A = this chain, B = another copy of it.
Amino acid sequence: MADAKEIDGGVREGRRERKRRQTRERIESVALSLFLERGFDGTTIEDITEAADVSKRSFFDYFPSKEEVVFAWQDSFSDELADAIAAQPKDASIAEVIEGALTSALLAASSDPQHLAIAVLIRDTPALCARNQLKYAKLEEKLTEALYARSGGAEEERFRLRLLSAIVVSTLRIGGERWNEGLQEASLQDFAHHVFEELWTALSELGTLLRQRNPNR
């Protein structure tokens, strides 16, 4: 059990790992094609495994359920967002950090044209809608952690940051819906910037409104 095939410090991908990765990618790609073609419910695991040329049993060795194939890519988005937050300039305001990081993560994600089709698929499949909401919850957690890690970390800040994360993720969700409904005339950057403008303005006005109504608190 000595370490094998190590070259300049990194473990190079052996045949096993390579094949496993390829199989996983093949299943994912084939499954998504079929989902888009025949719908999620109209595609059986057998359809997928036949097209991907693996046994039905092997499918569950790669993905715990049919749904997870659709959401496999989601984890990477959370991670990218967290990285992007850490990468924002030190002197940026919290609004700039969030807007900057989210915009760059969104741009990276949208480079894959399949994502739009997947979004539509999710919207039109009730079973996927529920699972999709869970994605937002996870994203919210990650975002909170990333913001908390960045901003010194006073315990009293936690609620505020959690709330802010929730607000941002909600905005992402609402904005995403609007983007999918609309005609995508503007570029994603411009659209995102516009939505953030609305967000900051709305929050700012909301703050004013609340302070006026509860002046003594």
Contact = CB atoms under 8 A, between A and B. Distances in A.
A22 interface: no
Contacts of A198: 159
Given A130-B133, A137-B133, A207-B204, A163 B159 contact: no
A206 B204 CA distance: 7
Copies in the complex: 2
Contacts of A133: 130, 133-134, 136-137
A interface bracket (residues with beta carbon within 8 Å of B): 35 or more
A149 interface: no
Interface stretch (A93-101, A102-110, A114-122): A93-101
A45 B138 CA distance: 31
A206 B160 contact: yes
A217 B201 contact: yes
Given A160-B205, A207-B210, A200 B217 contact: yes
A209 interface: yes
Contact of A210 (B134, B174, B204): B204
B210 A160 contact: no
A199 interface: yes
A170 interface: yes
A170 B26 CA distance: 38
B93 A213 contact: yes
A198 to B, nearest CB: 6
A47 interface: no
A201 B200 CA distance: 17
A208 interface: yes
Contacts of A95: 209-210, 213-214
A211 interface: yes
Interface of A: 93-96, 129-131, 133-134, 136-137, 159-160, 162-164, 166-167, 170-171, 173-174, 197-211, 213-214, 217
* Shortest beta-carbon contacts, A-B, top 7: A207-B207, A133-B133, A166-B170, A93-B213, A130-B130, A130-B134, A204-B210
